[in-house]
Amino acid sequence: MRPEAGAWDVVVVGAGPAGLLAAGRAAMLGARVLLLEKMEKPARKLRITGKGRANITNMKALEEQLREIQPEPRFLRQAFQAFFNRDLIALLEGQGVATKVERGDRVFPASDLAWDVADALVAWATGQGVEILPHARVERLVIHEGLFTGLVAARKASRTPLEIEARCGILATGGQSYPATGSTGDGYRFAEATGHRIEALRPSLVRIETRPAQVGAQGLTLKNVNLTLWIDGRKQASEFGEAEFTAKGLAGASVLRLSRKIVDAMAAGRKVELTLDLKPALDPAKLEARLLRDLEAHPGGTCTALLRSLLPAPLVAVFCERLGLSPSAPAAQLQGSKRKQLLGLLKELRFVVTGHGGWEEAIVTAGGVSLQDIDPRTMGSRKIGNLYFAGEVLDLDANTGGYNLQIAFSTGWLAGEAAARKALAIQGPPLG
Ligand SMILES: Cc1cc2nc3c(=O)[nH]c(=O)nc-3n(C[C@H](O)[C@H](O)[C@H](O)COP(=O)(O)OP(=O)(O)OC[C@H]3O[C@@H](n4cnc5c(N)ncnc54)[C@H](O)[C@@H]3O)c2cc1C
């Protein structure tokens, strides 16, 4: 650290996407900024996002992106207005990282390497003058007469705790999913200890366990299927896209998108079911006509041969079992009520939801620091005037598609700007 440091203008806890943007923006405005990270390297989680490719944002318009966010999308309007998808792309391009847009308006680095994005953000922040201290685990915040005055951190190679004074603090400690990346929920404890309300924490964007689990189809990914969620027998939502069979149930993009509602319904003790429409492009009448044609065309065939013309191979045994037919039975047995049953299975393959993946594997944390306690214009705490929050530590989460990272970048930028303004007493209109 700089010898003259003494008191910093802004200290940021957590060098993930939110913390890096917060620290860099505050330094850009002239603040002396210290960024503490408990892991050896900054942005561990960012480096594994998007299966190592980092879906960093989405090109959808602001209002459309807000629709992907829960529980309070309007809370993010000012943060998105301050720093949005094009600002992020320009920042990265300024660091030599080109980007590309893929299906669903999702933005990735052109290199397909999340690592490039993480390194570019670290270089950008240090280029603004941010001092990054790795292996520094913040243990508690120091509050004096209702204001944040600094914090206490433990360093890996030292027994003596590090006491840091600062005019403003920003908590960007992330959620509590994927704890191996460093986000172990510390920020929630700091927030609670300083009088903030924490909304119940739940794993989200997570795989689902079902009965039956269809072990025989494990590893099969279906594209262009429709998945419908039923809670207490009532249809709640449908998602079109990919579904994957796993050892214990279902995963894949459409399952992840429904998982938030599923986790909440299960926590409330409600009956949760999923149905899979394997032929969403065909209505029941068209599907029945197709089935009758297939039966006529193969009068002497087996059930397996007929089902194979309708289904991927791993699902044939699953269907025979659910229909109560031997795979070698003649296809002619698929007449009358059996044909109706088959049609029902193709349009509504039903699963009872029995559980979901845990914190080790959830992509995001739902719940967190209550938005009631945060000013959306600044990300500042309504409880402690010079304390700010950014990123997943807040009670905000989104669908897959690059929105979660955009939340981190936008709230980080706004928190950094507001903290620098406060620390340096900068007045007036928006800053460039
Ligand atoms: C496998 C996976 C894939 C994902 N893919 C995508 C994707 O493609 N697109 C997308 O938009 N989102 C994706 N996400 C979600 C996204 O990564 C997170 O929402 C985002 O990283 C949150 O940013 P953050 O800065 O708030 O928190 P984090 O990235 O979690 O960073 C928090 C940092 O704080 C540090 N920290 C915590 N406690 C302390 C402490 N006490 N002292 C010091 N430092 C501390 C942590 O070590 C960590 O580095 C993915 C998540 C996972 C797990």
Q: How far is the CA of 28 from the centre of ligand 1 (A)?
A: 23
66: DSSP letter: H
d(CA 315, CA 229): 21
Parallel, antiparallel, or unpaired: how do β-strands 162-171 and 387-389 relate? parallel
pLDDT digits over 303-361, tens only? 898 899 899 999 999 899 999 988 888 888 888 888 999 999 999 999 999 999 999 99
d(CA 132, CA 416): 15
Q: How far is the CA of 43 from the centre of ligand 1 (A)?
A: 7
Report residues whose beta carbon is within 6 angstroms of any ligand 1 atom: 13-19, 36-39, 44-46, 48-50, 54-55, 137-138, 172-174, 177-178, 182-183, 186, 363-364, 391-392, 402-405, 408
Contact between 54 and 389 under an 8 Å Cβ cutoff? The reply is: no
- Residue 429 banded pLDDT, cuts 50, 70, 90: low
pLDDT at 90: 98
Whether the bond into 314 is cis, omega within 30 of 0:
no
Please state the atom number of ligand 1 nearest to the C-alpha of residue 392: 26
pLDDT of 3 strictly over 50: no
Whether the bond into 71 is cis, omega within 30 of 0:
yes
Residues whose CB falls within 8 Å of the CB of residue 130, separated by 6 or more in sequence, listed in order? 23, 24, 26, 27, 33, 34, 35
pLDDT of 430 strictly over 80: no
Q: What is the dihedral of CA 236, 361, 66, 109, to 10 degrees?
A: -140
pLDDT digits over 358-383, tens only? 999 999 999 999 999 999 999 999 99
pTM given for the model: 0.94
Tell me the domain boundaries of the chain.
7-203+364-424, 207-357
Parallel, antiparallel, or unpaired: how do β-strands 374-375 and 380-381 relate? antiparallel
Q: Whose CA is nearest to atom 38 of ligand 1?
A: 173
Q: How far is the CA of 286 from the centre of ligand 1 (A)?
A: 47
Mean pLDDT in residue range 5-27: 94
Q: How far is the CA of 46 from the centre of ligand 1 (A)?
A: 6
d(CA 92, CA 111): 12
List the alpha helices (DSSP H) in 198-279.
Answer: 253-267
Q: Which fold has domain 7-203+364-424?
A: FAD/NAD(P)-binding domain (3.50.50)
Q: Best mutation site among 100, 137, 379, 405 for ligand 1, i.e. most ligand atoms within 8 A of its Cβ?
A: 405
d(CA 412, CA 79): 9
Mean pLDDT in residue range 402-417: 98
Residues whose CB falls within 8 Å of the CB of residue 364, separated by 6 or more in sequence, listed in order? 175, 177, 204, 205, 392, 397, 398, 404
d(CA 117, CA 98): 10
How far is the CA of 295 from the CAs of 163, 305, 340, in angstroms?
78, 10, 13
Q: How far is the CA of 161 from the centre of ligand 1 (A)?
A: 25
Q: Whose CA is nearest to atom 47 of ligand 1?
A: 182
- Structure tokens, 52: 């190592």
